[in-house]
Amino acid sequence: MTADPGTAHRDRVRPAPVRAARAARRRARRLPPVVRDALVPALLLLNILTTGAPQDLPVAVALTAALALPLLWRRRAPRTVFGAVAAAAAVQWLMDIQLPADLALLVALYTVASTSDRRGTLIAGAVVEIGALLACLRWTTEGAFLTPFVAVTALVVAAAVLGVNVRTTRAYLAALEERAARLEQQQDQQARLAVAEERTRITREMHDVVTHNLSVMVALTDAAVYAQHRSPDKATTAMLRISETGRQALTDMRRSLGILRTDEPDAERHPLPGIAQLETLAGQMCAAGLPTRVEVEGGHTHLPATAQLTVYRLVQEALTNALKHTPAGTEATVRIRCSTETVTVDVTDTGPRPPRPGPAPSGHGIPGMRERSAAYGGTLQAGPLPGGGWRVRTRLVLGSSGPASV
């Protein structure tokens, strides 16, 4: 039989003391609680029945039963049981009968100390200590009071201290278990957040990859159909570009899904896109019917690959929107300004956006761009220009997660 993966995960999360304590409790719980609680009373009764007593045996058996039997309920009502045992011990002292069953007082004191607060433990310990003093005064031989009293006092202190230690250990283990449960819950929450973030990332990447490449392929296909009879060479060039764009799309999709290995040939042919690939992107857009010019100011080799990918995806989405929503003859300009701490992305086009009937579509384009920009402390601006055209602008702050002005 295989172990439950969830249980194994939780066992790894819990600290070693918690696991050890739980294992010890599982071993102890092999005996039912009633059987464990009955062991001491049974032994005390068996002792008085087998050894007898110098006093009247029936009275000794009755007193032993009064001292021992309440221990059966010591876990349910420790203070009540302690009071019953102390009352039986007081009757025993008044009747001047010495019994081994006085051990029940120490067991009852231990139970009170292990379940009550400090005040209850001190009161119970004081009661037992007074009883020990009275017993030693009555039953010790003349001149031999100190040694028995010290020995009995040591037993009383040991029972109380042992009970307090058990209570402290129990509270410590309970705190460890609670902490382990919180840690496990936090890890589960972090795992769920990681899954949600990964799904959002894949959705955003797939939207950018599919939307851009399909838009380019559709435009190139229209151009190839138009030119197939008048200019076969141009149609052939357009078809080759469609094939290359399709391969690029497949590679980007596989990379987004995390299934492209670095040692695959396509990984070398199509590296992770960045600022250096913007010229290639501009060439694709020009071939699809959107003349695009790219201007890069400042060096970009020091920029992290993730930041360059963000810049590339922002430009890609802005140009794809321009290709889809502007008429023929529109031109686009991409300006990238790089510094040691920031990267400014500015994409403009000259084509007016046609009016949209009804509410604006709830796509992933602009929201996805805002999410990418916000990851680097940028605030995206997207809207029409006063003299016509459209503009998308943001500034990415490297090494910062706070908002940045644009």
Q: Does residue 381 register a pLDDT over 80?
A: yes
Residues 286-315 pLDDT 10s = 888 889 999 999 888 888 888 888 898 899
Banded pLDDT at 29 (limits 50, 70, 90): low
CA dist., res. 162 & res. 19, Å (int): 22
Banded pLDDT at 147 (limits 50, 70, 90): confident
Quickly count: other Cβ atoms within 10 Å of residue 253's Cβ: 17
Mean pLDDT value across residues 99-114:
86
Banded pLDDT at 396 (limits 50, 70, 90): very high
Place of tokens 């040691």: 340
Both tokens of 58, joined, read: 């029936």
Banded pLDDT at 347 (limits 50, 70, 90): very high
pLDDT at residue 247 in the model: 73
Q: Are 333 and 295 in contact (CB under 8 A)?
A: yes
Q: Does residue 127 register a pLDDT over 80?
A: yes
Q: Does residue 390 register a pLDDT over 60?
A: yes
pLDDT at residue 403 in the model: 42
Mean pLDDT value across residues 4-15:
47
Higher pLDDT, 118 or 223: 118
How many percent of the chain have pLDDT more than 70? Answer: 76
Q: pTM of the full predicted structure?
A: 0.48
CA dist., res. 113 & res. 167, Å (int): 7
Lowest mean pLDDT among 144-148, 208-212, 329-333: 208-212
Higher pLDDT, 224 or 308: 308
Domains of the chain: 10-188 (no CATH), 277-352+364-406 (3.30.565.10)
SS (H, E, C) the chain: CCCCHHHHHHHHHCCHHHHHHHHHHHHHCCCCHHHHHHHHHHHHHHHHHHHCCCCCHHHHHHHHHHHHHHHHHCCCCHHHHHHHHHHHHHHHHHCCCCCHHHHHHHHHHHHHHHHCCHHHHHHHHHHHHHHHHHHHHHHCCCCCCHHHHHHHHHHHHHHHHHHHHHHHHHHHHHHHHHHHHHHHHHHHHHHHHHHHHHHHHHHHHHHHHHHHHHHHHHHHHHHHHHHCCCCHHHHHHHHHHHHHHHHHHHHHHHHHCCCCCCCCHHHHHCCCCCHHHHHHHHHHHHHHCCCEEEEEECCCCCCCHHHHHHHHHHHHHHHHHHHHHCCCCCCEEEEEEECCCEEEEEEEECCCCCCCCCCCCCCCHHHHHHHHHHCCCCCCEEEECCCCCEEEEEEEECCCCCCCCC
Banded pLDDT at 21 (limits 50, 70, 90): low
Q: Is 395 left (phi over 0), alpha (psi -120 to 50) or beta?
A: beta
Q: Does residue 405 register a pLDDT over 60?
A: no
Residues 44-88 pLDDT 10s = 777 776 776 555 777 888 888 888 888 888 888 889 988 998 998
Both tokens of 296, joined, read: 């890069």
Banded pLDDT at 357 (limits 50, 70, 90): very low
Q: Does residue 124 register a pLDDT over 80?
A: yes
Both tokens of 139, joined, read: 């039953």
pLDDT at residue 13 in the model: 45
CA dist., res. 210 & res. 249, Å (int): 7
Q: Does residue 260 register a pLDDT over 50?
A: no
* Highest mean pLDDT pick, 148-152, 229-233, 283-287, 293-297: 293-297
